[in-house]
Chain A
Amino acid sequence: MDVNGDTASLKRKREPKDDTPSSLKKHRRRSKLPEDSGAGESASAQDDQQPSNSALQQINGGLEPPDASSQPPDGAARERLASWKVSKPMGGRMLDIDPIFSSDERYLIVTYNTSIQVYSTEDSLLVRRIALPVTRTDDATELVATHIVSAVLSKCDTDYLWVACSDGRIWHINWTSGAGAGNPFRIEAKKVLDVAVDVMEIGGQSDDVLLVLKRLTKSSAQIVAYNVKALSTKSGKLLHTYDESPQLLRSAAEGRLIVAAAKETVHIGLLKVRKLSSLDDLAYRFHCFNVPDLVTSLDIRHTLRAAKKGGFDLQSVDLAVGCARGAIYVYHDLLPKLPGEACGPSRAGLIQPKKYHWHRRAAHAVKWSQDGNYLISGGCETVLVLWQVETGRLDFLPHLSAAIENIVVSPRGASYAVHLDDNSTMILSTAEMRPTMYVSGIQSLVLGDRPSKESLVRRVWRPVEEIVAPLVAAANPRNPSQMVLCVGNGQQASLGGGSTSTPFLQVFDVASFHGITKHAIARTNPTDANVTSDGVPIVEPTVTKLSFSQDGKWLASVDEWQPPERDADALLTGSKTSAEVCRERREIYLKFWEVGAEDQSFQLVTRVNDAHHTGRTETILDLASDPTSSRFATIGNDGMVRFWSPRLRKRDGLAATGPDGQPLRSWTCSRTVSLPTHEQQDDPVDIPTENTARSGAITFSEDGSVLFAAFGPPSAADVVAIDTETGTIRDVVSGMFKGEIRAIRSLSSSLVMLSEDLVVYDIVSDEVLYNYSLKETSEDAKHLTQLAVNYESRSVALVAPVPNLNQGKMKRGARSELVVLNIEEDEPQLVQTFSHLITSVCAAPLSSGFIVVDSAAQILSITEGAEQAPLLQPLADLGVDGSDASGREALLLEGDASDEEMEDADQDVEMEHDDDTHAAVVAPQRLAEVFSAAPAFAMPPIEDIFYQVAGLFSTKPAKA
């Protein structure tokens, strides 16, 4: 924001200025434009002079990681800007990194793209979120694409975690306290590919040794060993260099064995020396052999035997390798098959493995069971496969919700942690294959850090690598902590096949931060193979619009599907192109759902097949909900506005009733208004033909009496005010839009219109209050420019991708900017750049803020003043984290046990576990509800308040 109010994506137009009314581009048909636009002028002139340099620095300087920056900038703008604040981001996308069990299996540590999150395995609650400043801005525009590559539990102190970032930063984090996230070690590396950690005895002292796989050139890498001392001095011991492009590194048996995989070869390193006096003594003998296919995953199982000279020796090593074409190769007892010690670093050629092939596509994860009799594998078939190694017998857990990414066997072997592609992780008990813990984040599309394991093999399709459309989301007015988002069947499933498919509705609770349910609101095939016989993914419908009715009892959705163009060859006639043929066969449904009161069920009430149609089905451009009654309105490409309202469903003239005798309703079109065709139609050049891209948007006025509909071809769109009672057109305003219409919103007497400009226009006084013009960006970026309006704080939030000349597509590295404007004031209230692309913004219901979802699947809350963000606080932040207390108790009990009563102590521990629920998680706003229910003089008796508070904090007895 400079003197002209410039932000990264907005450019302040000096308007309205002392121009003639004609330059305001306002042409009213009925009312004449008043000559005085003085008020707006003086206001804008005033704010032009306001210096706000510090804010500029905040935005453009980017000195700090924007993830963590929520403190207000200092300077002249502080007072005003301080009233809005951005919460810490919550959530994120689980990375393709094995989740980690704590050694006592009480916690599961999941690596997210921007944080490490610790969950309790008993009740699936988030215990701690350790944010990591993964993305750094090296200079104002260029983003370094960094991401976490590995997170491994420290072997010598299990309270610590080693987390490695691709740019060479390595954090040593105490996950029980969150300490250590601030100051990473830094090693010199072009790119870190993988890190393995093992404990070794160095100079008589056991210490963590990090084995780091670094990339040297495009197709060569080296393995370097570090310990803590070496990390601080940045001087590691080079162990091995190799030429194939490497991916994976694993170690086993306290560093006696290293396995590194590179495309179709596996390198195995065996520890040469037995006694280490310093890190420099560390040396391995490397062998390599070929695997028949590209390696995607591997797991080592080893047994040790007591060596003659004391200590232990490797007895046998079994290696399981999952490959990109679905086969799993098992190398039993690998050590004797390797060439002898004398040969030195050598190539063992091809060792014949045992082949297990069931997966159709890449085996994303392969793990040995604890006893070595079973292999557990998973892939994009969404089936967990259990192999009996001896017999090759298969056991399945079929049809999970999305592709399996990672599998981890718990330390005791009694449960599996399975990370799925739909941003969820569950723990399955091995006995009955039922989930005992489930964590599900926002399943919206993200811009991935690493290519999926599927992309190792060339496919007939290419995955989509950009986000082309905003995330369709809505906040439930009846339950303010709940959001509904349109998601797909996992990231990979929704990105295949050239276009996104999002047929699911995820109900996500922002306050408790977990996904509640997922409903299919369009056609899905969860149990079928989602590929055609040619190997092309089947595209499911995309939900394009979503809106709750004002009371939250109804939900309207619009979904679209059209056959892929490759199917259209036989259907071509005359001069039709295949795109036209497909458009003719488009299926667009407007659906109305009844939202269940308690159980958040969505029941389809009415499906309208061709809500808008001419000769064929036409796109529904926008959907709006009446803020005062249960009514929706749609605008279609056919130039019609339709109002939809519920009515009692009748059968033979009798009111139809449901099973409980409640009257059933159905939705019908209650009114159709045809928008006036464009005024300049007599101009022969400008006749809108069938193919002219027309855009439209609608919004109800705040009192529901007027519907504003904007419709037309680019640069010739009109805004029409329609009386919702009579359906008559009251007013037409033209020339407000430049380019394609993005959105229109109404706030008191003002209309906020977004196209290539952001125009705030007062409909009563008939003048333009503001006119911001967005900076020149690519076509894709325009699609992601969004607008939200909060009636409570009278504010408007505008979200736009920051223009990037090098990158037109919204791929990884794109950033967004958020601007909050108050309708009464000219100056933006808040301007902030986010390091991730913002895919959705909506007003938080019953609050004055906004909720933002970004392309890293994070949710941020933007709140005004002292208002509490409705987001979840991790248990640790709330101070009700059970880990400290119980940890101390456990220590004490251990002490006791060493004294005498071993048995009793065990029992105590058992009991401790039994009733160790995380005593009530109380959101601050709940407490606020109790205490600020009424002014102090009208408060209920103190006893009542006590019971209310006690009720909040006391846990309910577990159900028998």
Chain B
Amino acid sequence: MAAEVLPLAQLKLPSGPSPVTSEQRYWRSFKNQKSHTSTASWPISHISFPAATGATLSNSLVAATKLNDLFAVTSGPRVDIFSIRKRELLKTIGRFDGEAHCGEIRADGRVLVAGEDSGRMQVFDVGGGTRAVILKTWHIHKQPVWVTKWSPTELTTLMSASDDKTVRLWDLPSNNPSRVFTGHSDYVRCGAFMPGLNSNLLVSGSYDETVRVWDARAPGGAVMTFKHADPVEEVLPLASGTTLLAAAGSAISVLDLVAAKPLRLITNHQKTVTSLSLASNGRRVVSGSLDGHVKVFETADWNVVAASKYPSPILSLSVVAAGAAQEDRHLAVGMQSGVLSLRTRLAGAAAEKARDRAAVEAARDVGTETLEKLDAQKAKRKRAAVTNKAMDLLGEGVDVIIPTDAPGGRSRRVKLRPWQRNFRQGRYTAALDDVVDMSSPEYQPVTALTLLVALRHRSALREALEGRDENTVLPLLRWTSKYIADPRYLSVCVDMGFHLLDLYSEHVGGSAELAVQFQQLLGKVSKEVEKAQMAIQTNGMVESLMFGVV
């Protein structure tokens, strides 16, 4: 019934392109870069971390998180094993004859498989000691093995792909491959198991510019083939199990396995795309390319939502997820220069702690008063928490809790700021002085604009500008000359300029500062006029061109 007194609504200006989107903010929150240069600056060719498995491998959660704490980085003839939590190198496996490829840790975090240039494939024990124990060796491939990957569902199954144009399926105990897929006519450089229940489907991409899908159950060759324009460098099945990404040259193609047709071609990179990774629980895809760019795509329309640039061509990248919710933890990017860049996003308690620390630092910089204020705030919050806890305990013994607010009663009244109260009560001069004070910590140009427009609506602009002395006119003039160039503020600034000139031009002779400010305003306006003239000239030229066309 009786209307509530609300503060003046802030003016909504036409929305321009948002300078920072929420997505960009998210990807920028991967901070605290830690660079790790590999021995002899070997290029980082592969980064992987064990995928979270649906099946519980261990009973205790602690063990599970511990198991998931590792990720493997392959560079030159080495595979380095890092800790996710500590971001530290734990162990280096160097028992390779040539260059190592595709070091992959199994989902249970116990063993690691890697191929090498000689065509040999080795399985290492990850745990225990600094020295890696070789558990199994196959030397069936006669050409370099580029892909070795564990099956996401069965612990003993793995696949390999090699320059000998074959893709093989292995069983850990046996010495010979359980299945050999032939059909590629050139080096096979990438491959993957399909996720989920389709894990007996394999995908491989080759330098013969095709992506082939193999079925372990079906005899014979590929069940599906996609031809590309360039050698395929990387394939990445999405979590849905029906969509596949393939990086061929500088383009990424989105392939639909159900409809058996390409959905889209993403051409945002300038050079060959070398690696792809899922992020944000499969809702984003991150790509790295030789042009040094990392781009983040959303998976609905494949628009770029964030991007960043690295100093060297990117060979491998991975968004390392950890924790129960599989949140993005690190953005690991391996480069040609041999630098592994690790950027980390803090989550939960860690993030809060970091924020607190930053606040304290900032307060300390400002002065002791602010620090004390911050402490008082903290103490208050703590007390409130204690009281709440006590109330919660009390609530257990009580049948009915009666809220202090009346049912359906109004919520707490919005408190008006001083300038809002001044405005409401008709003290327009005071309100205007408040909002144009550019040194105030609460100063926002849009607040000033809101008030000025409201004054115009109430026919009170002149009243607010009238009757001032030199000290109170100068901030207004300064504000006007600052914002008169902004088209959104232009109309109000022009009105203000007119009024100020009308009211105070007679005093210019008496005050040097006033004269200077008016001079500045004039300068600003003449500059804008110049710009407008140039724009009109350009318009005239374009129009005369268009006239001939139409």
The chain A residues found within 8 Å of chain B, CB to CB, are 397-401, 426, 434-435, 523, 525-529, 532-534, 536, 538, 561, 563-564, 566-567, 570-571, 573, 585, 607, 609, 651-655
Q: Which of B30-38, B176-184, B209-217, B457-465 interfaces with chain A?
A: B457-465
Chain B 484-524 interface residues, beta-carbon cutoff 8 Å to A? 491, 495, 498-499, 502-503
A-B CB contacts (within 8 Å), total count: 82
B305 touches A653 (CB 8 A): yes
Q: Determine which of A538, A609, A653, A654 lies in contact with B459 in the assembled complex, contact meaning CB atoms within 8 Å.
A: A538
Is B301's beta carbon under 8 Å from chain A?
yes
Give the contacting residue for A654; candidates B14, B303, B491; CB below 8 A: B303
Asked whether A401 lies within 8 Å of B3 as measured between CB atoms, the reply is yes
Query: Are B424 and A538 in contact, with the CB atoms below 8 A?
Result: no
Chain B residues in the interface with A (C-beta under 8 A): 1-6, 12, 14, 18, 21-24, 298, 300-301, 303-305, 424, 426, 456-463, 491, 495, 498-499, 502-503
Distance, CA A563 to CA B4, complexed state (A) = 27
* In the complex, residue of chain A having the shortest beta-carbon distance to the beta carbon of B501: A570
Task: Establish whether residues A653 and B298, one from each chain, have CB atoms under 8 Å apart when the complex forms.
Answer: yes
Within the complex, which residue of A399, A529, A532, A561 is in contact with B5, where a contact is CB–CB below 8 Å? Answer: A399
How many whole Å from B295's CB to the nearest CB in chain A?
13
Find the residue from B459, B461, B463 having the highest chain A CB count within 10 A: B459
Q: In the complex the two chains form, is B426's CB within 8 Å of A529's CB?
A: yes
> Which residue in A523, A528, A532, A655 is a CB contact (below 8 Å) of B424?
A528
Interface centre among A528, A534, A561, A651 (most CB of B within 10 A): A528
Give every chain A residue within 8 A of B457 (Cβ-Cβ).
Answer: 523, 538, 561, 563
B1 / chain A contacts, CB cutoff of 8 Å: 400-401, 426, 434-435
A526 cross-chain contacts in B, Cβ below 8 A: 3
Q: How many angstroms from the CA of A829 to the CA of B290 in the assembled complex?
A: 80
A189 nearest CB across to chain B (Å) = 41
Main secondary structure of the interface of A (DSSP, over half): loop
Q: Min CB distance, B231 to chain A, in Å?
A: 29
Structural contact, B491 and A397, CB atoms closer than 8 A: no
Report how far A633 CA is from B521 CA in the complex, Å: 42
Q: Please indicate the chain A residues that have their CB under 8 angstroms from the CB of B3 in the complex.
A: 399-401, 526-527
Taken together as a complex, chains A and B put the C-alpha atoms of A526 and B12 apart, in Å, by 20
Is the Cβ of B426 less than 8 Å from the Cβ of A585? Answer: no
B460 touching A570, Cβ below 8 Å: no
Closest to A573 in B: B498
**Bound: A527/B22 CA distance, A:** 36
Chain A neighbourhood of B503, CB < 8 A: 570
**Known interface pairs A399-B4, A585-B491, A653-B305; 20 further A-B residue pairs with C-beta atoms within 8 A, sorted by A's residue number:** A399-B2, A399-B5, A401-B1, A434-B1, A527-B4, A532-B459, A532-B460, A533-B426, A561-B457, A563-B459, A570-B502, A571-B498, A652-B22, A652-B305, A653-B301, A653-B304, A654-B23, A654-B298, A654-B300, A654-B303
Bound-complex Cα distance A169 to B226 (A): 95
Which listed residue, A434, A536, A570, A652, touches B23 by the CB 8 Å rule?
Answer: A652
- Whether B461 and A654, one on each chain, are in contact in the complex, defined by CB atoms closer than 8 angstroms, is no
Pairs A-B, 6 closest by C-beta atoms? A653-B303, A399-B3, A570-B502, A652-B21, A526-B3, A527-B5
Rounded to whole angstroms, the CA-CA distance of A536 and B460 in the bound complex is 11
By a CB distance below 8 angstroms, the chain A residues around B461 are 567
Bound complex: CA A692 to CA B17 (Å):
38
Min CB distance B269 to A, Å, is 17
Which residue in B12, B18, B300 is a CB contact (below 8 Å) of A607? B12
The 23 listed contacts between A and B (C-beta, < 8 Å) are A399-B4, A400-B1, A401-B1, A523-B457, A527-B424, A529-B426, A532-B460, A533-B426, A534-B459, A538-B458, A563-B456, A563-B459, A566-B459, A571-B495, A573-B498, A651-B21, A652-B22, A652-B24, A652-B305, A653-B304, A654-B300, A654-B303, A655-B300
Given known contacts A570-B502, A607-B12, A536 and B459 CB-to-CB distance under 8 angstroms: yes
Contacts of A532 in B (CB 8 A): 458-460, 463
Asked whether, in the complex, the Cβ of A652 is within 8 Å of the Cβ of B303, the reply is yes
Give A674 Cβ to nearest chain B Cβ, in Å: 12
Q: How far is the CB of A64 from chain B (nearest CB, A)?
A: 42
A533 touches B2 (CB 8 A): no
A561 nearest CB neighbor, chain B only: B457
CA distance A563 to B499 in the complex (A): 15
Q: In the complex, A609→B458 CA distance in Å?
A: 20
Could you say which residues of chain A place their CB within 8 Å of the CB of B495? 571, 585
Minimal Cβ-Cβ distance residue in B for A400: B2
Output the nearest chain B residue to A610 by Cβ-Cβ distance. Answer: B14
The residue on B at minimum CB distance from A541 is B457
Distance in Å: Cβ of B227 to nearest Cβ of chain A: 29
Q: Which residue of A lies closest to B456 (CB)?
A: A563
- The distance from the CB of A179 to the nearest CB of chain B, in whole angstroms, is 36
Q: Across the two chains, which residue of chain B brings its CB closest to A537? A: B459
- CA A505 to CA B123, docked complex, whole Å: 75
Which residues of the other chain, A, contact B303 by a CB distance below 8 angstroms?
Answer: 652-654
Bound-complex Cα distance A567 to B461 (A): 9
In the assembled complex, the Cα of A6 lies from the Cα of B456 at a distance in Å of: 51
Give the distance in Å from the alpha carbon of A609 to the alpha carbon of B488 in the complex.
12
Contact call A609/B4, Cβ cutoff below 8 A: no
Q: Which residues of B have CB within 8 Å of A573? A: 498
Contact A527 B6 (CB under 8 A): yes
